[in-house]
Amino acid sequence: MVKMLMLSDGASSPADVVPALALLPHEAEVRPLAASPAEIASRSPELLLVDGTGALVNARNTVQMLGGSDLETPTVMVLAEGGLAAVSPHWLVDDILLDSAGPAEVEARIRLAAAGPQGPAAQEDVIRCGDVIVDEATYSARAGQHTLNLTYKEFELLKFMVQNPRRVFTRAQLLSEVWGYDYYGGTRTVDVHIRRLRAKLGPDHDQLITTVRNVGYSFTEARPTPQE
């Protein structure tokens, strides 16, 4: 038996969203989509179901918010068939489940999702540094609860810096590591991409990329504390 928690604004029981759950021996309760990570953690679920059959945008925002928190509970989004066209890796769910799925399929997906990643290789594509998470497998990145819309080179630059926190790199080193030795552009390219990265990180995270005068750039793990 798996202890589950369903986040839904339109159901009184999980079976209202996935009828097959009424035929399976799992423990489940319903909380609103706006439930906080702390509230979810207090119930110690082994699996989190998010109802995307109605308010799909709200459900997407919920899973992205939870993905930026410390909550490590596997997350499955329940979708109506029409929602399949909208779901993407950036939604940060571990699996999806159609609300019309039969008991055998629902049982299999619950069992596999609740088991979690098998071995360290499952997490090797995810790089974390402070509040910034870079996922190489999906070419996505987040700063806190904010998903970053990055170009390929912006992603590669951020990934390299996150992989090497606190190290100071010259513009030439960054150019070599990210653009390669055969790139004929100047180091000004690095400055332009750093500026764009800071803008996309936003005011809460732009200072994570620090300028080291007359040297280059460094990535810090936490935003500098303002001096009093």
- Whether the per-residue pLDDT at 72 is higher than 90: the answer is no
Q: What angle do CA 46, 47, 50 make, to 5 degrees?
A: 150
Q: How confident is the model at residue 183 (pLDDT cuts 50, 70, 90)?
A: low
Fold designation for 3-115: Rossmann fold (3.40.50)
pLDDT at 25: 87
What average pLDDT does the chain have?
85
pTM of the predicted model over 0.75: no
Q: Encoding tokens for residue 56? A: 């799909």
What are 153-182's pLDDT values in tens digits?
A: 999 999 999 999 889 999 989 988 888 866
Higher pLDDT, 5 or 117: 5
What are 79-131's pLDDT values in tens digits?
A: 998 888 888 777 778 888 999 999 988 998 888 888 765 544 445 678 888 88
Q: Are 132 and 162 in contact (CB under 8 A)?
A: yes
pLDDT at 117: 56
Higher pLDDT, 201 or 136: 201
Q: Phi and psi dihedrals of 106, rounded to 5?
A: -60, -45
- Whether the per-residue pLDDT at 191 is higher than 90: the answer is yes
- Whether the per-residue pLDDT at 143 is higher than 50: the answer is yes
pLDDT at 222: 65
d(CA 222, CA 46): 31
The CATH number given to 126-219 is 1.10.10.10
**Residue 175 has what DSSP assignment?**
I
Residue type, 72: E
If you average pLDDT over residues 7-21, what whole number do you get? Answer: 90
Domain ranges of the chain: 3-115, 126-219
HSE (side-chain half, CA atoms, 13 Å) at 80: 9
Q: Are 218 and 166 in contact (CB under 8 A)?
A: yes
Using CA atoms in the order 156, 159, 161, 165, what is the torsion angle rounded to 10 degrees? -170
- Whether the per-residue pLDDT at 196 is higher than 90: the answer is yes
Which alpha helices (H) appear in the chain, and where do they start and end? 14-17, 37-42, 56-67, 103-115, 152-163, 171-174, 188-201
If you average pLDDT over residues 38-56, what whole number do you get? Answer: 90
- Whether the per-residue pLDDT at 223 is higher than 80: the answer is no
Q: What is the largest CA-CA distance in the chain?
A: 67
Burial class (CB in 10 A: 0-12, 13-18, 19+), 196: middle
